[in-house]
Chains A and B, each alone.
Chain A
Amino acid sequence: MGEVIVVTSGKGGVGKTTTTANIGTGLSLKGKSVVLVDADIGLRNLDVVMGLENRIVYDLVDVVEGVCRQRQALIKDKRYTNLYLLPAAQTKDKNAVNPEQMQKLVGDLSEEFDYVILDCPAGIEQGFKNAIAGANKAIVVTTPEVSAVRDADRIIGLLEASGLRNPMLIINRIKMEMVKRGDMMNIDDMIDILAIDLLGVVPDDDMIVVSTNRGEPAIAIEQSLAGQAYRNIVRRIMGEDIPFMNFESDDGFFKRMARLFGLNKKKQ
């Protein structure tokens, strides 16, 4: 039985799809067998980010409705071994499937793969309920904005209510220089509110835009900072204990020493 991880956020545009693509690619680079499931029926774009959109024949709804076999709908990524994508239907909507069907589909997939990663749609309606139905782990993505944190908080509440305890947090698109200037929410404040374990912090990186448009996940790009952050996240998912990178935690050596000697209390 593989792990089923849902990537969710509540708010749109915080980087769920990018995160899904990068984590999936990263896990397959580590030699795991991975299937990415796009649960955003009607607004699919995981296929675009993965650069696989012109190879779609069957989709998730076809599998659920029995139009095709599961194996037929899975798209094998040509660049990475053991990485597959189950695309969403674009011509249907979220009500085309129900949570029970998703549960069965995801259950079948988890028999075959080490990791099933679900890209959850924004919002808290049917699509969200479908996406979390079969999951046994959750990753909540947020950006350092009050609105995104508010939505993440709501999502964590809903996840806990449906039995997905201890979701993990990824803070995406942080700009350390803005945080230092006090113009952006800092990591401690966000963790203070959300009160869940931090899985990783991804810095704002122009490379992501480039890689998304080219359909090549940034995790494979050696010199990308965001790629490095995703590589660390992948290793943490696999159970390794990786220290947070410099930009991931805003207290450097001196601050930590100062705190050790009780010189500076928490700021503000």
Chain B
Amino acid sequence: MAENAVIFKGTKEGLYIILKEEMDLNTIKYNLERKIKPSKRFFEGAKVMNFKGKELTKEEFDELREVMEQEYGMTVVGDYSDKKHFVQEERSAVKRTEMLEQLPFEYVYKGEALIVRTTLRSGQLIQYKGNVVVIGDVNPGAHIKAAGSVIILGTVRGIIHAGASGDYGAFIAAYKMQPSQLRIGDIITRSPDGMGSEPENPEIALVKQGMIVVEPYLKNR
């Protein structure tokens, strides 16, 4: 079965459902069911702004709307004439999303980066509203606070705070991860007690299920 026949996309106003071009209506309905059924409680009462992607006829649109409202208890806010506007705009946008989806992390491209080309020593604090890249080590007692992600081309021994303004999608990557503490958003974690063995591979710290997980990002080594 084709993956991503339907994609849910959350925006500030509400949910958009992106339908893949080459899918017929039955496949779409089948895929909607597959996606929504398992987490029906989650979707109940959700506001769907509109459908995007595939061009729909008025009848198809109404049919989909009825399915959403009757079976899943969701409300479709937009109407058919709005939908038409999206079609042109979406044609090019879909291409762009496809390209972005090939990026390894969603947040890599986001925002500006501050590049620090020195070893950060005890007592030094770097604060930046975007991403931070350090070419050098971060020594114990040094502190990096970034609204975005932090990448260290060296050894981390200090405190790194990524996503400092609450972005859980931020990550921390380093050649050698031996931090005294890592923070992403408001989640704090610290290295296990006792002198653990030195990491042999470059590692990345991400938020998974509300916890910071550190794992090698080159899995095949």
* Contacts from A to B (Cβ < 8 Å): 150-151, 153-154, 156-158, 160, 192-193, 195, 268
Other-chain residue from A150, A160, A192, A268 in contact with B141 (beta carbon distance below 8 A): A150
Shortest Cβ distance from A161 into B: residue: B124
Is A268 within 8 A of B121, CB to CB? no
**Which chain B residues lie closer than 8 Å to A160 at the CB level?**
121
29 pairs from A and B in contact (CB 8 Å cutoff): A150-B122, A150-B140, A150-B141, A151-B122, A153-B121, A153-B122, A153-B139, A153-B140, A153-B141, A154-B121, A154-B122, A154-B123, A154-B141, A157-B120, A157-B121, A157-B122, A157-B123, A157-B124, A158-B123, A160-B121, A192-B155, A193-B137, A193-B139, A193-B140, A193-B157, A195-B119, A195-B137, A268-B197, A268-B198
CB distance from B201 to the nearest CB of A (A): 15
- The complex places the Cα of A153 from the Cα of B141 at a distance, in Å, of 9
Q: Is the interface of B mostly helix, strand, loop or mixed?
A: loop
- The complex places the Cα of A195 from the Cα of B198 at a distance, in Å, of 18
* Contacts from B to A (Cβ < 8 Å): 119-124, 137, 139-141, 155, 157, 197-198
Is A156 within 8 A of B198, CB to CB? no
**Which chain A residues lie closer than 8 Å to B140 at the CB level?**
150, 153, 193
CB distance from A169 to the nearest CB of B (A): 13
With contacts defined as CB atoms under 8 Å apart, how many contacts are there between chain A and chain B in the complex? 30
**Which chain B residues lie closer than 8 Å to A158 at the CB level?**
123
Shortest Cβ distance from B198 into A: residue: A268
- The complex places the Cα of A130 from the Cα of B52 at a distance, in Å, of 68
- The complex places the Cα of A156 from the Cα of B123 at a distance, in Å, of 11
Shortest Cβ distance from B136 into A: residue: A195
Given contacts A153-B121, A154-B141, A157-B124, 20 further A-B contacts (CB under 8 A): A150-B140, A150-B141, A151-B122, A153-B122, A153-B139, A153-B140, A153-B141, A154-B121, A154-B122, A154-B123, A157-B121, A157-B122, A157-B123, A158-B123, A160-B121, A193-B139, A193-B140, A195-B119, A195-B137, A268-B197
CB distance from B164 to the nearest CB of A (A): 22
- The complex places the Cα of A58 from the Cα of B197 at a distance, in Å, of 56
- The complex places the Cα of A160 from the Cα of B123 at a distance, in Å, of 13
CB distance from A122 to the nearest CB of B (A): 15
Shortest Cβ distance from B158 into A: residue: A153
Which 5 A-B pairs give the minimum distances between C-beta atoms? A157-B121, A154-B122, A153-B122, A154-B123, A153-B121
CB distance from B146 to the nearest CB of A (A): 19
CB distance from A57 to the nearest CB of B (A): 39
- The complex places the Cα of A153 from the Cα of B137 at a distance, in Å, of 12
Shortest Cβ distance from B118 into A: residue: A160
Is A156 within 8 A of B197, CB to CB? no
- The complex places the Cα of A157 from the Cα of B157 at a distance, in Å, of 15
- The complex places the Cα of A182 from the Cα of B180 at a distance, in Å, of 22
**Which chain B residues lie closer than 8 Å to A268 at the CB level?**
197-198
- The complex places the Cα of A156 from the Cα of B140 at a distance, in Å, of 13
CB distance from A175 to the nearest CB of B (A): 19
CB distance from B28 to the nearest CB of A (A): 57
CB distance from B157 to the nearest CB of A (A): 7
Shortest Cβ distance from A156 into B: residue: B121
